[in-house]
Chains A and B, each alone.
Chain A
């Protein structure tokens, strides 16, 4: 078993996963590689964001980390090269990228390379289910999970379709808004996650706006793990130790 299916099994068996998100090439290519290696030890999965010039689903923190990475010359190709040098890592890798850099690289050329670099799943935040057939047929051929995102405004019918289709995990966006915003009140979020879990074939990871151990404790019983993005990028920006921040979230 490999790729998306292996990731599903690890997430099911592993207790509440804390999945760190790193912007590829941020704060520098070396800094990114060091953080990736350090965070990989003991993690079930790690998510790497490919910086894009127009990150419309992202808040100020990831917009800025993307800008810095792009200005320093980071690209899908250079980020994958950095990842390949570290492979194999302990953690399964998830790549998050807006559609256009993937299109420019070419699906047929990209997906085999992802599989070779230990990427288990792919998240494309601006690719809705209806448009994902072409990419999905290539990722399936190489056993990489194509992740679907769901949100609190997703209808029940649509949630059922997305929950059936999602591979690797289902990405439950915890709120309406961009990454790094503030998460809604406890009951709203946990009730929503329970609905997502009931509809989802794959394990459920909650993301967007998770930054404290208290939030992790609240969400943990209602999902298979949380993705920590903007808060971790802020830690890297301040020069603090990302591993102790992530460890702190488990307390």
Chain B
């Protein structure tokens, strides 16, 4: 990280550590989660899909959270921090637009000025979310540099931040970037795994054999996995396999990447032999990032979690099956987790799987319509 951002990052860490332990702040956050986000989100049993795939499937329904994905858990938590820190403006990056919409909504809710950087390629393929951000009062800044997707948007947000580091709060949306973000985002997303664990015990009377989530930067996955780390549960992250395993045709940083430093964290990256970061491809804009949260790289290295990938076609097929069997249209990102679930049940028939259904598919309608033609 550039020296210019060191004071801002250490101020953020100090404040976050203080406030996340402060009962007053935690109450305020939990009140927003309950009355505005709509938590706890449902845990849905999926018996028809389970019959087809051969096991017990439980869906943790982050698609039912306000603004349609898990991103809101982090956005409202960090926006509260930004307000406490007296920030004059909030900036954010977005890929699929889900984090952008969540940030725009949280900033509107708290009366904070909001600017969202979004790659021009993503603006094209996630047009409904661009409109939603604007309706919520945010400025959307198109980013045409680099690959014009999520990673370019992060670069541009960082350039904005180094220009006004003292008055700006950078509301990063995934478990990536410089410390303290991977930690902070994990803390705010862990509500997913805490709720799901309690709901499984209450509804199914047992913990699942496996928990599966999609992984781009990995915020919903770490939110689901973290509270389950000490349980005897197989943890499976599913990366975007895109169209093939060739560099540039996928976003599978753990499966196909090498160690390196991008955006202030040391993790696994899709890069060439010279250390240049490579372009990625996934049908889901939200997984289109050439790196992964450092904690996932660590969980992969220690073997506590296992990571695999799902291709665009496999994800689309799984999306279709869930829609037809259970009347739930998942986001393209979350459909990758369903592919992991199907595979797990094929190998372990009759077992119980908890799926992190991170978001809803309404934003993907244009892409899906295009693919059907």
Cβ A173 vs Cβ B263 within 8 A: no
Taking the complex as formed, is A101 at the interface, i.e. its CB lies under 8 A from any CB of chain B?
yes
The reply to whether B274 and A76 contact each other, CB–CB distance below 8 Å, is yes
A104 at the interface (CB under 8 A from B): yes
Q: Give min CB distance, A131 to chain B, whole Å.
A: 9
Q: Residue on A with the closest CB to B145?
A: A63
Q: Is the CB of A104 within 8 A of B273?
A: yes
In the assembled complex, A133 has its CB within 8 A of some CB on chain B? no
- Please list the residues of chain A having a beta carbon within 8 angstroms of any beta carbon in chain B: 52-57, 59-60, 63, 70, 75-77, 99-105, 125-126, 128-129, 148-151, 153-155, 158, 162, 173, 176-178, 181
Known A53-B276, A103-B275; judge A59-B2 contact (CB<8 A). no
Q: Give the Cβ gap from B170 to chain A, nearest Cβ, in Å.
A: 12
Cβ of B277 under 8 Å from chain A: yes
CB distance from B48 to the nearest CB of A (A): 45
- B165 to A153, Cβ gap below 8 A? yes
B19 neighbours in A (Cβ, 8 Å): none
In the complex, the answer to whether B274 meets A54 with C-beta atoms within 8 Å is no
B123-155 interface bits toward A, Cβ cutoff 8 Å, 1 = contact, 0 = none: 000000000000000000000011000010001
B121 in contact (CB, < 8 A):
no
Q: Taking A53-B146, A100-B261 as contacts, is the C-beta distance between A128 and B7 under 8 angstroms?
A: no
Pick the contact of B261 from A75, A126, A149 — CB < 8 Å?
A: A126
List 14 other contacts, CB 8 Å, given A70-B276, A153-B4, A176-B164: A52-B275, A54-B263, A56-B159, A63-B145, A100-B262, A103-B260, A125-B3, A126-B2, A149-B2, A153-B7, A173-B4, A176-B4, A176-B162, A177-B163
Nearest CB on B from A196, distance (A): 12
Check A100–B166 contact: CB distance below 8 A. no
- Determine which residue in B4, B155, B261, B277 has the highest number of CB atoms from chain A within 10 A of its CB, and name it: B4
A177 to B5, CA, bound (A): 10
Given A126-B261, A176-B165, A178-B163, do A102 and B275 touch, yes or no (CB 8 Å)?
Answer: yes
Judge if B349 is at the interface, Cβ distance under 8 Å: no
B264 contacts chain A at the CB level, 8 A cutoff: yes
B110 at interface by CB-CB < 8 Å: no
Within 196-216 of B, Cβ neighbours of A (below 8 Å) are at none
Please state if A158 and B7 are interface contacts (CB–CB under 8 Å).
yes
Contact A100 B3 (CB under 8 A): no
Q: In the bound complex, how far is the Cα of B13 from the Cα of A52, in angstroms?
A: 29
**Are A100 and B1 also in contact (CB < 8 A) when A54-B262, A56-B158, A56-B263 are?**
no
User: Contact at B145–A154, with CB atoms within 8 Å?
Assistant: no
A150 touching B163 in the complex, CB below 8 Å, given contacts A100-B277, A104-B260:
no
Q: Mark B249-266, 1 if CB is under 8 A from A, else 0.
A: 000000000011111100
- The answer to whether A54 touches B277, judged by C-beta atoms less than 8 angstroms apart, is yes
Q: How far is the CA of A128 from the CA of B262 in the complex (A)?
A: 14
> Which 9 pairs across A and B sit closest by C-beta, in order of nearness?
A104-B275, A101-B275, A177-B163, A100-B275, A151-B4, A75-B274, A53-B276, A53-B277, A149-B3
* Contacting residues, chain A, for B155 (C-beta < 8 A): 54-56
Q: List 9 A-B contacts (CB under 8 A).
A: A56-B158, A57-B162, A100-B275, A102-B275, A129-B3, A153-B165, A155-B7, A176-B165, A178-B159
Interchain CB contact under 8 A, B2 and A125: yes
- The docked-state distance in angstroms from the alpha carbon of A126 to that of B264 is 7
Contact of B282 with A by CB under 8 A? no
A105 vs B231: C-alpha distance when bound (angstroms):
40
Residue in B163, B259, B277 whose CB lies within 8 Å of A176? B163
Do the beta carbons of A178 and B162 come within 8 Å of each other? Answer: yes
Determine the distance from Cα of A56 to Cα of B277 in the docked complex, in whole angstroms. 13
Q: Which of B98-128 contact A (CB under 8 A)?
A: none
